[in-house]
């Protein structure tokens, strides 16, 4: 795997809201810190950012999917991804998997859930539906080790070997499941998921447990 692009963005107005989704590739090195990338705008802090969602990663294989299946030749950062990684697919990542990129170490914590802002970014209000159906969601990471990053750096992928690990795409589908099983809910809560996701899923499990 290789780091194809490091992307940051400023706050821009999209319709009636302000968003940091519009990222651009950086030519030099960028500092990665516990709360995100240096000079990268995070506007909607209710759903984005924080130590467990500090970095959003999207796979080069996922971008290839959009071109091959939908004819969309998209630039790295189009979906608001901070890091675009060649040779990586969202379909093959599990919560707890780790990425070592130079001095920076990241741990996958949660899928990205599409919202209306993505539709505004793509100038297509129906695009979030296509994004959801694709399962090419990308994933958020917590920063285990800070450092500087630049494009064309090797990426070392270390899989989470926990026996009951949960795939990012399975966690993604759980957000849309109206009747999740107790076992699946417990599986996701046993994983090192983002605190935002934990706050959403724990009450559902409590309700199932009566």
Cα dihedral 175/43/55/79 (nearest 10): 70
CA pair distance 107, 94, nearest whole angstrom: 10
Angle formed at CA 92 by CA 87 and CA 94, multiple of 5 degrees:
125
Other beta carbons within 10 angstroms of residue 38's beta carbon come to 12
Q: What is the pLDDT along the chain (210 residues), one digit of tens a residue?
A: 999 999 999 988 888 888 989 999 999 999 999 999 999 988 777 777 899 999 999 999 999 999 999 999 999 999 999 999 999 999 999 999 999 999 999 999 999 999 999 999 999 999 999 999 999 999 999 999 999 999 999 999 999 999 999 999 999 999 999 999 999 999 999 999 999 999 999 999 999 887
Nearest to 57, CA basis, from 122, 112, 118: 112
Q: Which domains does the chain have, with CATH numbers?
A: 2-161 (2.40.33.20)
Sign of the alpha-carbon dihedral angle for 106, 108, 113, 119: positive
Q: Which two tokens stand for residue 201?
A: 């899923």
Burial of 48 (0-12, 13-18, 19+ CB in 10 A): buried
Q: Please classify residue 68 by burial: count the beta carbons closer than 10 Å to its beta carbon, then call 0-12 exposed, 13-18 middle and 19+ buried.
A: exposed
Length of the chain: 210
> Residue with structure tokens 């810190």?
33
Q: For residue 201, which phi and psi values (nearest 5 degrees)?
A: -85, -30
Q: What is the pTM of this model?
A: 0.95
Task: Tell me whether strands 55-59 and 83-86 are parallel, antiparallel or unpaired.
Answer: parallel
Q: What is the pLDDT, as a whole number, of residue 43?
A: 73
């Amino acid at each position: 795997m290789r780091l194809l692009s490091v992307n940051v963005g400023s706050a821009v107005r999209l319709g009636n809201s302000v968003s940091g989704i519009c990222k651009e590739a950086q030519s030099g090195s960028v500092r990665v810190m516990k709360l995100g990338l240096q000079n990268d705008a995070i506007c909607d802090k209710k759903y984005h950012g924080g130590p467990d969602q500090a970095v959003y990663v999207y796979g080069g294989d996922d971008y290839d999917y959009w071109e091959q299946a939908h004819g969309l030749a998209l630039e790295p950062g189009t979906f608001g991804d901070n890091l675009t990684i060649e040779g990586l697919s969202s379909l093959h990542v599990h919560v707890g998997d780790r990425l070592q990129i130079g001095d920076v170490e990241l741990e996958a914590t949660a899928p990205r859930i599409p919202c209306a802002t993505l539709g505004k970014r793509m100038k297509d209000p129906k695009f979030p539906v296509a994004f959801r159906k694709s399962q090419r969601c990308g994933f958020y990471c917590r920063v285990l080790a800070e450092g500087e990053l630049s494009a064309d750096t090797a990426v070392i992928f270390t899989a989470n070997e926990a026996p009951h690990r949960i795939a990012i795409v399975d966690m993604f589908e759980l957000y849309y499941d109206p009747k999740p099983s107790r076992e699946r809910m417990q599986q996701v809560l046993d994983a090192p998921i983002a605190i935002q996701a934990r706050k959403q899923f724990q009450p559902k499990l409590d309700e199932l447990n009566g």
